[in-house]
Amino acid sequence: MRGLYPTAKACGFYAAYDKKFSGNNAYRTAWIRVRTDGSVTTLTLKKQVGTGITKRLEYEIIIDDFIKAVKMLMELLPNSEYNYMEAIRERHIMDGAEITLDKWTLLKWGMEIEAKSAKKAKGIYKKLDAEGVPSPSVAVSDREYYRLKGVDYEALESRFRKKPERILARA
């Protein structure tokens, strides 16, 4: 599938405004993401209300300006954790499901299948004859995700530390 559509450098800006852990190993977190591929910019609110992908609420709208949205979030949520990430993304539609191929900095390509049911997603995965073992979605910070993948996040963070400031300064 990779290569059917032109890739675009996607820039993502994340503001984690609520991070909480509660009893019984239940996980609760919420975050806002501003993402652009250069032509479409979205603002997404995600909220994990328990463990598992079915316990995630997601609301997304198309907006017109990546820089303005990031500046607004930084002004409205000055004490939040912020993260800047660059990735390559390809989106495809198959049998009514959205398939996204992601290449995050220092990580291998990954695939996400969003379908109306887990059964439908598993069927599409099988139909694609993809390599590897499907894994459930996890709601963890980028730092934790990189740690799970065995990558030193500190090195990556230092690589991108000044980039958002330079991008925002241009606007």
- Please provide the DSSP assignment of the chain as one string: -TTSS--EEEEEEEEEEEEEE-STT-EEEEEEEEEE-SS-EEEEEEEE-SSSGGGEEEEEEEES-HHHHHHHHHHH-TTSEEEEEEEEEEEEEETTEEEEEEEETTS--EEEEE-SSHHHHHHHHHHHT-SS---------HHHHHHHTT--HHHHHHHHTTHHHHHHHH-
State yes or no: pLDDT of 15 exceeds 50: no
Token reading at 59: 């609301």
User: What pLDDT does 112 receive?
Assistant: 86
Q: Is 25 a residue whose pLDDT tops 50?
A: no
Greater confidence (17 vs 137) lies with 137
32-54 pLDDT tens trace: 888 888 788 888 888 877 766 66
Work out the pLDDT band at 62, boundaries 50, 70, 90. Answer: very high
pTM exceeds 0.85, yes or no: no
Task: Give yes or no for a contact between 113 and 121, defined as CB atoms under 8 angstroms apart.
Answer: yes
How many domains are there within the chain?
1
Greater confidence (6 vs 55) lies with: 55
Query: Residue 3 domain-assigned?
Result: no
Residue-range definition of the domain harbouring residue 163: 8-170
Q: Could you give the percent of the chain with pLDDT greater than 70? A: 73
For residue 46, what is the domain's CATH number?
A: 2.40.320
Question: Which pLDDT does position 61 carry in this prediction?
Answer: 93
Question: Does the residue 120 lie in any domain?
Answer: yes
How sure is the predictor about 63, in pLDDT bands with cuts at 50, 70 and 90? very high
Percentage of the chain exceeding pLDDT 90: 4
For residue 39, is it within any domain? yes
140: in domain: yes
Integer Cα distance of 122 and 111 in angstroms: 12
Is residue 1 in some structural domain?
A: no
Residue 2 domain flag: no
Q: Is 161 part of any domain? A: yes
